Amino acid sequence: MRHLTEYSDPSAIRALVAEIARISTRPARIMEVCGGQTHAIMRHALDTLLPAHVQLLHGPGCPVCVTPAAYLDHAIDIASRPDTVVTTFGDLLRVPSASRGDLFAAKARGADVRMVTSPLQALEFAAKHPDKQIVHLAIGFETTAPANAMLAYMANARGLANLSLLVSQFLVPPILRAICADPSTAPDAFLAAGHVCAITGSDPYQALARELNRPIAITGFEPADILLGVLDVLKLLEAGRAEMINAYPRIVHPQGNPEALRILDTVFEVADREWRGLGTVPMSGLDLRPEYGEFDAARRFSGIYSYCNNYSNCNNYTSSDCPAADVLLGKLQPNDCPHFGTRCTPDSPLGAPMVSPEGACAAFFLHRRR
Ligand code: SF4
């Protein structure tokens, strides 16, 4: 398959590994931002191919891992109301809430939770069932935000007053700034996620590399994509240059996707955002603009959410024993967590990073357990 097999070709991988070993002379801690990159690294054991002084850290880019546990309590409360349906992607179903179990268990108790593969399915469902309130769980990073924005835009255009969005949208650059604010644990370089940059474009990451004073390579998700990104940031580190290299130009363009950016700007505005276990990061998320406020489920259903109207005031850890925040910030490798593979497994998770298909703990458990 063109654009896939050539990036998994063993001879290309061997050449990249040899070049990395040849040019790398000093210790380097490189954080891959996205959970998809983490799973690719673990699946192909790419970290084991690198020199011992080059360490890969696993970053915060797992959407369901950073969604506040209290947000899920709110979603379960809404889904438990009569004549109300919550729609969600499947990866959120088994993520533990703060106090109400998970959406899957709520569904077993009778809550109307439906899995969708596109937000626009929620739109069609709302059109067919005007007697029900449809609430879509709009979470994720820049990758999911355009489709969620389109949902609100279309609901407004079609006058669907029975549809709303419970929004917990995150932005990547502000959390990288937060990570770099602690020089004692900040990585030396980042591998930015290609699917995020396909929306935003590579240009903003050039400015971000200079601001953070760290190299950034934008990568895809095949083995050669990631190793090429590692090679690029190592070259920049060796040369002492804080610049961005787009190692995924077959997908990422300098200005990104103009149509996606236009719909994002029409529907959403930048706002403070609560991150699970990390607290509130200023201007790190997206909220519906006031013009789309009538589609805000947090406002429409605020009255039933009596025990915590502000996610930041709630316990956003699933378990106080789960050090997920340290995993998300790259301070702790998943298999160094004392509960990894013992008290905490995908069947019996203590925290979101063990549940999510993009979680670092799940990646280690699936590919590195033995
Ligand atoms: S292994 Fe489990 S308890 Fe440990 S950080 Fe990961 S999710 Fe939390």
Joined together, the tokens standing for residue 271 give 């706002």
Is residue 298 domain-resident?
yes
pLDDT tens across 187-208, in order? 999 999 999 999 999 999 999 9
> Distance, CA 65 to ligand 1 centroid (Å)?
11
> Distance, CA 21 to ligand 1 centroid (Å)?
32
Q: How many domains does the chain have?
A: 1
The pLDDT score that the predictor gives to residue 349 is 86
For residue 77, pLDDT over 60 is answered with yes
Residue ID of nearest Cα to ligand 1 atom 3: 322
The pLDDT score that the predictor gives to residue 3 is 64
Is residue 9 domain-resident?
no
Residue ID of nearest Cα to ligand 1 atom 1: 340
Q: What percent of the chain has pLDDT over 70?
A: 94
The pLDDT score that the predictor gives to residue 55 is 96
> Distance, CA 359 to ligand 1 centroid (Å)?
10
Q: Pick from 94, 331, 340, 356 the residue to mutate for probing ligand 1's pocket: most ligand atoms within 8 Å of its CB.
A: 340
Q: Is 277 in the pocket of ligand 1 (CB under 6 A)?
A: no
The pLDDT score that the predictor gives to residue 306 is 39
Rg (CA), the chain: 21
- The mean per-residue pLDDT over the stretch 56-77 comes to 92
Is residue 154 domain-resident?
yes
The pLDDT score that the predictor gives to residue 347 is 87
Residue 310 phi, psi dihedral angles, 5° rounding:
-130, 115
Residue 310: pLDDT band (50, 70, 90) is: very low
User: Sign of the CA dihedral 70, 72, 74, 76?
Assistant: negative
Residue 278: pLDDT band (50, 70, 90) is: confident
Q: Is 308 in the pocket of ligand 1 (CB under 6 A)?
A: no
- The mean per-residue pLDDT over the stretch 213-239 comes to 97
**Upper half-sphere CA count for residue 298 (Cβ side, 13 Å):** 16
Residue 100: pLDDT band (50, 70, 90) is: confident
For residue 61, pLDDT over 50 is answered with yes
Residue ID of nearest Cα to ligand 1 atom 5: 324
The pLDDT score that the predictor gives to residue 171 is 98
Residue 319: pLDDT band (50, 70, 90) is: low
Is residue 248 domain-resident?
no
Residue 2: pLDDT band (50, 70, 90) is: low
pLDDT tens across 323-350, in order? 998 999 889 999 999 999 999 998 888 8
The pLDDT score that the predictor gives to residue 355 is 86
Please tell me the chain's helix, strand, coil percentages from 3-state DSSP, rounded to the nearest 5.
Answer: 45, 20, 35
- The mean per-residue pLDDT over the stretch 243-253 comes to 97
CB 133 within 8 A of CB 83: yes
Q: Which residues contact 195 (CB under 8 A, 6 or more apart)?
A: 34, 36, 143, 251
The pLDDT score that the predictor gives to residue 7 is 80
**Which atom of ligand 1 lies nearest, measured to the CA of 352?**
7
Tokens 């190793």 map to which residue? 227
Residue 276: pLDDT band (50, 70, 90) is: confident
Is residue 11 domain-resident?
no
The pLDDT score that the predictor gives to residue 106 is 95
Residue 141's domain spans which residues? 65-171+256-313
pLDDT tens across 279-289, in order? 899 999 999 99
Beta pairing partners, 55: 29
Q: Is 317 in the pocket of ligand 1 (CB under 6 A)?
A: no
For residue 144, pLDDT over 80 is answered with yes
Is residue 103 domain-resident?
yes
Residue ID of nearest Cα to ligand 1 atom 7: 351
Where in the chain does DSSP place strands (E)?
28-34, 54-61, 84-88, 113-115, 133-140, 163-170, 189-193, 216-219, 244-246, 268-275, 279-288
The pLDDT score that the predictor gives to residue 12 is 93
Q: Which residues contact 316 (CB under 8 A, 6 or more apart)?
A: 68, 69, 70, 98, 274, 276, 277
Q: CATH number, domain at 76?
A: 3.40.50.11740
> Distance, CA 166 to ligand 1 centroid (Å)?
26
The pLDDT score that the predictor gives to residue 308 is 42
User: Sign of the CA dihedral 146, 361, 229, 277?
Assistant: positive
**Which atom of ligand 1 lies nearest, measured to the CA of 341?**
1
Q: Is 364 in the pocket of ligand 1 (CB under 6 A)?
A: no
Q: Is 322 in the pocket of ligand 1 (CB under 6 A)?
A: yes
Average pLDDT, the chain: 92
For residue 313, pLDDT over 50 is answered with no
Closest by alpha carbon to 170, among 358, 304, 17, 351? 358
The pLDDT score that the predictor gives to residue 17 is 98
Is residue 237 domain-resident?
no
The pLDDT score that the predictor gives to residue 86 is 98
Is residue 198 domain-resident?
no
